[in-house]
Amino acid sequence: MSTHTKKDTVDFGYREVPLAEKARLVNDVFHSVAPRYDLMNDLMSFGLHRLWKRFTLQQAAIRPGQRVLDVASGTGDLAKAMAQAVGPQGKVVVTDINEAMLAYGRDKLIDAGMMGNTEFVLADAEKLPFADNDFDCVTIAFGLRNVTDKMAALHSMYRVLKPGGKLLVLEFSQPSLSIVQKFYDLYSFHVIPKMGEMILKDRDSYQYLVESIRRHPPQQALKAMMTTCGFEDVEYHNLSGGIVALHEGWKY
């Protein structure tokens, strides 16, 4: 199922680009930012991204021996903690569509001595190369907004979950208070691209970042999309005033 059956273009930030081009453009962005991705996350969020991910892990309630999939894993923050949670009898499968990001994530887990129960797979979230009903839990953190066809990705994640399994989507969202929205807009559009220019000599990638956040479905819209894909008991938690939201849904 696709959200683009009647449309041959898709958003790339505030631009409309051909469907076939978005994945390449996003890939170029993340090749560019990969070397200092973790540093920029700390600077842009004032370290709050670590608290958002910690809350996600708490809600995931991963148990020893489980099989867990982290989609669009980036540099592997969630994967590292999940590998500890599943223990030696469990397995964490780490995926990303971008080779540079996947390599940085693999290096991080190697440095942490966490490679015994992890597997790294170059994979597209829209077409996950895994069997049906394969994982106890699926997570995607700050990755869904970069996917060309979000409904296809949600269907793909639903398919690979076991009955009784849970999906957690951590993503930038819509601030719930107008005063927060105003501050956030000023910070996003005037500070973040300048930080990218100063630190990475790459303003364009971080301009795309803030634009892609604005084009991502807000809380209720994403909840509806997950429900349409078959997820049940879908709920979301607003974090930092709704700047970020964690959506959860179950496959029964």
Which DSSP string corresponds to the chain? --S-TT-SEEEETTEEEEHHHHHHHHHHHHHHHGGGHHHHHHHHHTTHHHHHHHHHHHHHT--TT-EEEEET-TT-HHHHHHHHHH-TTSEEEEEES-HHHHHHHHHHHHHTT--TTEEEEE--GGG--S-TT-EEEEEEES-GGG-S-HHHHHHHHHHHEEEEEEEEEEEE---SSHHHHHHHHHHHHHTHHHHHHHHHS-HHHHHHHHHHHHHS--HHHHHHHHHHTT-EEEEEEEEGGGTEEEEEEEE-
pLDDT digits (tens, 9 = 90+) for 183-213: 999 999 999 999 999 988 889 999 998 999 9
**Residue 4 is assigned to a structural domain of this protein:** no
Does 38 or 102 have the greater pLDDT score?
A: 102
CATH code for the domain in which residue 23 is found:
3.40.50.150
The per-residue pLDDT for 3 is: 45
The per-residue pLDDT for 15 is: 86
**Residue 171 is assigned to a structural domain of this protein:** yes
Domain of residue 154 covers 9-251
**Residue 172 is assigned to a structural domain of this protein:** yes
Confidence of residue 6 (pLDDT cuts 50, 70, 90): low
Looking at residues 144-161, what average pLDDT do you find?
A: 97
**Residue 1 is assigned to a structural domain of this protein:** no
The pTM for the full model equals: 0.91
The per-residue pLDDT for 5 is: 47
**Residue 3 is assigned to a structural domain of this protein:** no
**Residue 38 is assigned to a structural domain of this protein:** yes
The per-residue pLDDT for 212 is: 94
Total of domains in the chain: 1
Across all residues in the chain, what is the average pLDDT? 92
pLDDT digits (tens, 9 = 90+) for 110-133: 888 877 899 999 999 999 999 999
pLDDT digits (tens, 9 = 90+) for 30-71: 887 877 888 889 999 999 999 999 999 999 999 999 999 999
